[in-house]
Structure 1
Amino acid sequence: MEFLTKYRRMYMIKRSSLFFWILIGLVCTLLLFYRPEDRITKSTTDQSLSSTINLVDNNQNTDEDNNNSIEYQPYYAQARSTNIPEIVPSAYEMNNTRNALQEILFFNRVPKVGSQTFMELMKQLSYFNDFHFHRDPVQRVEMIRLSMPQQFDLTSAILNLPPPSAFVKHVCFTNFTRFGYPSPIYINLVRDPVERVISWFYYVRAPWYYVERKRAFPDLPLPDPNWLRKDFETCVLQSDPECVYNQGVRREGIGDHRRQTLFFCGHEPDCTPFNSQEALDKAKRAVEENYAVVGVLEDLNTTFAVLEHYVPRFFRGVTRVYHASESVRVNRNSFKPPVSEYVKDIVRRNFSREVEFYEFCKDRLYKQYRALKLPSGKSTDVSSTRNAF
């Protein structure tokens, strides 16, 4: 009996010891996965998310109450605020030229982005690089948004050009694959949208502009002298209808100079409202998926370097030709007076999505340049053209 009592006591001690170690194991496991800072982080994140949702709701309400005053944050500032390391794709990945099945270049030029100079530059490059240069003739009323049959006629005419050819026209982005045709090599240029709208304002009031128009179309009436004497700052500050940039306004024709995104969005009706999110999204997608290069007027150095490497068949030697010939630098408007930053800021508030698109194109151009990994000192040397046109 004494032996059994001793054995039972030892058994109970071992069992208690086993429960003790199991308990210790459970506590350690809980401590391993329990982190107080996670609770703090989650609480902070929930609070931040709640604040963000409230802020978005407030901003949406503000936009509905005041459509003419949209808060502006540049695209590149949004990208940098994430603190995520940038991964630059390879030059091959960023080169849409490889998607073109014919040596046809299509430059659907945006007005007042230096496109006249660029067109003259391409004309001279056609001799050096042995390609055909074609441009749409000057028209009394230029149509930039086309119907489906008109788009079909345009694509057919361009693809019937003898390759290699470059074709230039003020027109919205036209999707060749929609009609069963191979894509051309798309290029274009953009400009700071506020500088561009100022440039257009004075361009259509320049004396030589009306001389050229009257020469081409003698029956055109002369404009009102009071209209010619307008200045941009007074126009903005006095809320003249010509300088009020209401959100969502639809206007037709090339005279609706405010919408740079229209030339990338396309011909559809949802591309026409000024400063709309849908037009912005479609324009970005078209640039990413279709355009070989979208240059930036304010940085011709990078624009020329990228064009020479991504579209060499047409732009080999572009920097050399630009420097060698003064005749390519046309449409410089000496009649354009300076505009104060105060007035520019007033206008910029209503161009939030247009500015975002401009920053998007600029960011893409710089990515294309960095992807080339050019040796230091190989960049072009072109003076700033911010106020030249």
Structure 2
Amino acid sequence: MSAFFRFSGRVLALVLACLVSIIGPVLIMMTHSSHTEIVSHTTFPKQKYSYDEPARDPDDGVVYRGAQTRVMYNRVGKCGSRATLTLLEAVAGRNNFTLVLSDIHNQRELSLPEQIDLVNYINQLPPPFLYSRHMFYIDFQRLGAGPLVHINVIRDPLSRFISSYYYRRFGDGREHNSNFQGDKEQTIDECMERNHHECSSPKRMFYVIPFFCGQEEACREPSSWALEKAKANVRDKYLVVGILEEYEDTLRVLEKLLPIYFKGIVDILRNPDPETKMRLETMSTKHKTPPNEHNTRLLRFRMQTEYEFYYFVRDRFHQLKHQLGI
């Protein structure tokens, strides 16, 4: 019976995706709740990225795998995305692409109708564009979207956890989280001593993997299945997943593979204009107090699945850098 419902759900998705789309303007910084009509479904060849073969330069006269003009950045929280978007804003005009930033920040899970609604919106954006939103991976082509290049950046899991923990309490130089509900002054060590859910809940220790695993409910449960699904999606669906600890190299890789968007971005990082520099300098989380050595070891143990994914991505990123000569 459950197999019947899963089959029926897939049929429903295809039926919905075959309806007619509306024509809408390209808008920056908008939600998609009003885009409810459905676009015609088109079958596109599946794209798969492999680093087993040497990377080829975009200037060597061949169609390069990163030359597509539709990019999806389903950014992970507290992994440098605001800095990346700030830099992209600085180069968007000169590189002549549209940077589309969703103002939906707290809805990472989308229902099937919401996913199709987003497909409609994506399909009516004229390329070249880069769309960014905090959300778990969506197989857009399965739902009728044209080919998309997926990119992302992740971070050492404990470092990300520390930044997120204190950001929720104190914000950064630009944002002040005055509405935090709970013990605002509680350090991570105190949180650990009290066995508070912020530091003990398995789901709190399992944050990054769902962004790559997908929208299935099972992707949000800590498991080896979710880990392996996330790894498979990184291998097959993402052109680049960079590492925040190697941020400049991440930008160099993106500049090499997607010059339409990232050309000149490393120069902007090194020599930003006054406004960009001010914005970048105010993005660090305030009042970060790292845990003691004992709690550091314990938290890393609790995040061992996240660390397995992080090391997998890091090794893959290093392989890509080597092939690109970076």
TM norm structure 1: 0.63
Q: Which amino acid is the alignment partner of residue 169 of structure 1?
A: R
CA contact under 8 A between 1:106 and 1:166: conserved in structure 2? Answer: yes
Largest Rg, 1 or 2: 1
Alignment of 1:232 with 2:202, yes or no, is no
Task: Tell me, yes or no, if structure 1 residue 264 matches structure 2 residue 212.
Answer: yes
Partner residue in 2 for 1:115: 81
Contact 2:101/2:132, CA 8 A, preserved across alignment = yes
Determine if contact 1:113/1:190 at 8 Å carries over to the other structure: yes
Partner of 2:302: 350
When residues 101 and 304 of structure 1 are mapped into structure 2, their CA distance, relative to the original with a 3 A threshold, is closer
Match of 2:6 in 1: none
Cα deviations by residue, 1:266-317 (Å, 9 ceiling, x for unpaired): 000110113x101111111111111111110001132122111111111111
1:134 aligns to 2:116 (yes or no): no
Q: Pairwise mapping of residues 187-266 of structure 1 onto structure 2 (< 5 A)?
A: 187-206=151-170, 222-224=179-181, 227-246=183-202, 249=203, 258-266=206-214
| Partner-residue secondary structure (3-state), 1:205 | helix
* Secondary structure of 2:83's aligned partner: helix
Provide the rounded CA distance (Å) in 2 between the counterparts of 1:324 and 1:363: 29
- CA 1:345–1:238 in structure 2 vs 1: closer, same or farther (change >3 Å)? same
Cα distance in structure 2, aligned partners of 1:207 and 1:163: 35
Cross-structure match for 1:303: 250
The alpha-carbon distance between structure 1 residues 313 and 201, as it changes in their structure 2 partners (threshold 3 A), is same
Give the 3 Å change call, closer, same or farther, for CA 233–115 of structure 1 in structure 2. Answer: same
- Let me know the Cα RMSD of the aligned residues: 2.5
Q: Secondary structure at the match of 2:303?
A: helix
Unaligned runs of 5+ in 2: 1-50, 58-62
Distance 1:269 1:147 in 2: 11
CA distance in 1, matches of 2:172, 2:299: 27
- For 1:316 and 1:343, locate their aligned partners in 2 and report how far apart those are by CA, in whole Å: 42
Separation in structure 2 between the aligned mates of residue 173 and residue 353 of structure 1, nearest angstrom: 18
Report the CA distance shift for 1:102/1:301 in structure 2 as closer, same or farther (over 3 A): closer
1:244 positional shift: 0.3
Deviations, residues 112-163 of structure 1 (Å, cap 9, x unaligned): 0111111111111212211111101155xx2101111111111221221121
The answer on 1:185 being equivalent to 2:149 is: yes
Deviations 1:236-281 (A, max 9, x none): 13311221033xx5xxxxxx5741011011000110113x101111
Q: Mind listing any 5+ residue stretches in structure 1 that lack a counterpart?
A: 1-86, 215-221, 250-255, 380-389
| Equivalent AA in structure 2 for residue 122 of structure 1 | L
Q: CA deviation at 1:182?
A: 2.2
- 2:232 is matched by which residue type in structure 1? R
Rounded to whole Å, the distance in 2 between the matches of 1:118 and 1:301 is 11
1:89 aligns with 2:53: yes
Q: Partners of 2:149 and 2:262 in 1: how far apart?
A: 12
Please list the CA deviations of residues 201-249 of structure 1 after superposition, one character each: whole Å capped at 9, or x if unmatched: 00000156996567xxxxxxx445x611110111113311221033xx5
Q: Does residue 287 of structure 2 align to residue 321 of structure 1?
A: no
| Structure with higher helix content | 1
SS of 1:293's equivalent in the other structure is strand
**Which structure 2 residues correspond to residues 4-153 of structure 1 after superposition, within 5 A?**
89-92=53-56, 102-138=68-104, 142-153=106-117
For residues 64 and 111 of structure 2, the distance between their equivalents in structure 1, rounded to whole angstroms, comes to 29
Compared with structure 1, are the counterparts of its residues 303 and 211 closer, same or farther at alpha carbon in structure 2 (3 Å cutoff)? closer
